[in-house]
Structure 1
Amino acid sequence: MLPVTYAEIGATAGELPTGYHHLQTERVIDHGQHAFERAADDLLAGQVQRRAG
């Protein structure tokens, strides 16, 4: 494994570091266990990143 190339290792565990564009959003995507499981599957499969553009 290669070492990381940035100094802020672990910085997102608290206040986000300056010098970066930060984006935080929330949305209710549906309700219920089935919706939760579908969202979890999509997240783990990388679908969230693909759909974000």
Structure 2
Amino acid sequence: EGHDIKSTRFVIEFNSQRVMVKDTDEGKVLIAQIQDLNKLMTAYRTGLIKEKE
């Protein structure tokens, strides 16, 4: 006897919206790189730039 009662409380918070890669700073850089690569592919396919020999 003579023991104190110890209570513990846990607070759990759920975020209903997931963070997507595209919403991060690094994701924005990746999106810009993808757009640049797509432009480069289009330029190559249409003959605007030629393959190195």
Normalising by the residue count of structure 2, what TM-score does the alignment of the two structures yield?
Answer: 0.33
Normalising by the residue count of structure 1, what TM-score does the alignment of the two structures yield?
Answer: 0.33
Q: Which has the larger radius of gyration?
A: 2
- Structure with the higher helix share, 1 or 2: 2
